[in-house]
Amino acid sequence: MNIFIGTTNKAKTKAVQTISRIYYPDASFINKEVESLVFAQPMSNEETRQGAINRAKQLMELPNSDDLFGIGLEGGVQEIEGSLYICNWGALVANNGEVFTATGAGIPLPNEIAVQLRTGAELGPVMDVYTNRKGIRHDEGAIGVFTNGLITRSMMFEHIMYLLIGQYELSKKLL
């Protein structure tokens, strides 16, 4: 049973593996870099959701009977009343082509980060400069930095994984 993961990002991969293993202990994981087909820094809920779906669909273009599903996870931001909120989406594409989607936690970014994103910067590199560290996006992420480490990027995507697998398992029961 193969589970495809549409990224090599460590925080996302950890989330997919941790939650999938609870329900599918025999699963094998295959990471594949796929294009989100949206801008590198999605600037709306809709665009972020579409990026997640695009990634998952490409993973399942030629499924075989041993494939369980493909997972696309995408991070972005959305503007709400003058603040830029982190937004996160996940998509699960099942072997039969059915698509399940879910959204995750969101918090506002400080204005000094938001102004940089509005002029075209990507959150990943901006966070590295802000924290004077490298690869925050593979680790606790912006959400970890701005929640004092309480919710890491991987925990946030774990929640999305529960929402995706829950909907997928329910759909199998209803068949």
For ligand ITT, the closer CB: 37 or 170: 37
Q: How many residues bind ligand ITT (CB under 6 A)?
A: 18
Q: Does 67 bind ligand ITT (CB under 6 A)?
A: no
- HSE, CB side, 13 Å, CA atoms: give it for residue 146: 20
Q: Does 141 bind ligand ITT (CB under 6 A)?
A: yes
Instruction: Quickly list DSSP for 26-65.
Output: T-EEEE-----SS-SS--SHHHHHHHHHHHHHHHTSS--T
For ligand ITT, the closer CB: 108 or 124: 124
Binding mask 26-65 for ligand ITT (x = CB under 6 A): --------------xx------------------------
Binding mask 79-118 for ligand ITT (x = CB under 6 A): ----------------------------------------
- HSE, CB side, 13 Å, CA atoms: give it for residue 92: 23
Nearest approach, Cβ of residue 51 and ligand ITT (Å): 7
Q: Exactly one of 70, 75, 90, 104 binds ligand ITT (CB under 6 A); which one?
A: 75
For ligand ITT, the closer CB: 122 or 169: 122
From 20-28, 56-64, 134-142, 161-169, give the range in contact with ligand ITT by CB under 6 A: 134-142
Instruction: Quickly list DSSP for 57-103.
Output: HHHTSS--TTEEEEEEEEEEEEEETTEEEEEEEEEEEETTS-EEEEE
- 108 φ, ψ to 5°? -75, 145
Task: Answer for the pair 114, 84: CB distance below 8 angstroms, yes or no.
Answer: yes
What's 124-142 look like in SS3? HHHHHHHHCCCCHHHCCHH
Q: Give contact residues for ligand ITT (rule: CB under 6 A).
A: 7, 9, 12, 40-41, 74-76, 122-124, 127, 136-137, 141-143, 153
